[in-house]
Structure 1
Amino acid sequence: MIFLDGIPISKWGLQIQQEHDHPAVPELRRKAMIIPGMDGEWDFGSESGPKPFNFPLGFIEYDKNEKQRRINEFVAFLLDPYGRPREMKLSFDYEQDKYYRVKIANGFTPRRIHGFAFFDLPLIASKPRKNFMVPSDEIVMESDIPILSDLLWDTGFSDRKITSPQSFEIINNGTVVILFSFQMEGSGDNVSFSANGKTMTFKNFANKSLEITDNYVVKVNGISDLTISNGIFLELLPGTNQITVSGSNLNLTISESLTYQYV
């Protein structure tokens, strides 16, 4: 069973064939150069491309008017009010704690025979990584998270008070590198955060609220303002990461919000 925005496709009476494709690895873009006189090629590495999906779906309906109505309803779900493909969460019943962000990739044409309709649903995840179902600050003992989820509960800090330079650990439960996203309120001079060889610094500020997101955005009191920082964003490797905070006149309250990602 597949789910779109948490809704099982059976809501539209659709069923997926037991044999379907779920790519384990996204498309790979190899960067190589052939040099005359050299055997093989010069390998510059590879980059991940999008991850395509193609699901063979079908449903049973003998009334031709009702068959068209159900197709129309499903198509309307896939598109936004302007008729453009909209982003949805795609998840599977065999991995309920993770999801992809997908859009419909191409049009499709239902094949109609008496009592049945069949079509292949093409979806594309422009960002090919799987995301954990909730951000880290929502992972608490009362969370409705599948018991099979492989994660540590004590992942970092929340509402931590910082009044002097110090170091602490943050756990990235995913399998790929993610940005360190967090919220910071209060005051500080020459504030800096360091981790894994990178340092993010901030100008002096007083009684402000800062948000550093996982898509390279810095907000000051809710308004985007990258000028308050040096523009360097910290990366968290899979596993345990050490964060070092330095500065003077520190009176900060910090909370992290991480979206774990997986290959």
Structure 2
Amino acid sequence: MITLEKDGQVLRLEDFSLRPLRDHDRPRSGSISHKSQHIPGVSGDWYFGSEIGPKVYSLQANVLEADFEKFNGLMDNLMSFLLDAEGNPALIKVQFDDTNKRFAYLRLNSPIIPDVKSILEKVPLEFVAYDPHEYAESNAYDPAKPLKYDTGNPYGSKSYPNTQSFKWIYSRHYSGLENYSSLNADIKI
């Protein structure tokens, strides 16, 4: 169902002897809070915009491992994968199998408490995306014509010519960058 990637290490839940169930929550937006103010003597409220909060993804996974000791070891491995070196939830790139075009950056949102009271042992997993967007690879929109990050460069190279003979003179000199990409992507320097 999902592929997890952290620091170049790619794993699936099946690697931890877990099989995700299909009944999972994968919201298309985070919680929406509206800002409004009631003004006495006026009908209704005045609307002052809204904010979209983080998205919370949750899923249940069945336990495939019958040996309880091995299962505990696998849960320890899963927790060490989902946490960073300081013990905080790590930023995980999660790719969903139902589409090869979208992924999200998620962090563990709640403790993992396996339900092993019955024969159908389940492990609930809940992740949060503080950046509420899902992303796609750069060639996901039209595989016949992949989009590149420098296609908007009018000079056809990865460097831009200095047309103004600019020289750094002052210690606090500012320069600007413009993203000519056809993708809505951040500029990384």
TM-score range, shorter chain: 0.7 to 0.9
Q: Residue by residue, what CA displacement relative to the aligned partner does 1:42-98 show, whole Å, maximum 9, x if unpaired?
A: 111212211111111221222121111111111111011222111011121112211
What is the CA deviation profile of residues 182-208 of structure 1, one whole-angstrom value per residue up to 9, with x for unaligned ones?
A: x64442329xxxxxxxxxxxxx348xx
Q: 2:19 aligns with which of 2, 6, 15?
A: 15
Which residue matches 1:161? 155
Q: What letter corresponds to residue 43 of structure 2 in structure 1?
A: D
Number of aligned residue pairs: 177
Is the partner of 2:155 in helix, strand or coil?
strand
Deviation at 1:160, TM superposition (A): 4.1
1:173 is matched with which residue?
none
Give the match's secondary structure for 1:187.
coil
Alignment-derived partner of residue 164 in structure 2 = 189
Higher strand share: 1
Aligned to 1:111: 115
Counterpart residue type for residue 189 of structure 1: Q
Structure 1 residue 74 corresponds to structure 2 residue 49? no
Change (3 A) 1:114 1:49: closer
Whole-Å separation in 2 of the counterparts to 1:76 and 1:64: 18
Aligned counterparts, 1:74-223, within 5 A? 74-113=78-117, 117-134=121-138, 139=139, 149=141, 153=145, 155=147, 157=151, 160-161=154-155, 184-189=159-164, 204-205=166-167
Quote the Cα distance in structure 2 between the aligned partners of 1:33 and 1:83: 41
CA distance 1:77–1:95, change in 2 (3 Å)? same
Between the aligned partners of 1:17 and 1:10, the Cα distance in structure 2 is: 12
Partner residue, 1:43:
47
Match of 1:61 among 65, 84, 91: 65
Residue 102 of structure 2 aligns with an amino acid whose one-letter code is: K
* Partner amino acid, structure 2, of 1:3: T
- Aligned partners of 1:121 and 1:109: how far apart in 2? 9
Residue 175 of structure 2 is aligned with which of 226, 229, 249? 229
Task: State the 1:154 CA deviation.
Answer: 6.5
Partners of 1:40 and 1:152 in 2: CA distance: 52
Whether contact under 8 Å (1:28, 1:47) holds in the other structure is yes
**TM-score after normalising by structure 2:** 0.77
**Compared CA separation, residues 108 and 154, structure 1 to 2 (3 A):** closer
CA-based RMSD of the aligned residues comes to 3.2
Residues 117 and 69 of structure 1, relative CA distance in 2, 3 Å threshold? farther
TM-aligned CA distance change 1:226 to 1:152, over 3 Å: farther
Per-residue Cα deviation, 1:158-189 (whole angstroms, up to 9, x for no partner): 66428xxxxxxxxxxxxxxxxxxxx6444232
Please list every run of 5 or more consecutive structure 1 residues that lacks an aligned counterpart in the other structure: 140-144, 163-182, 191-203, 207-224, 236-242, 244-255
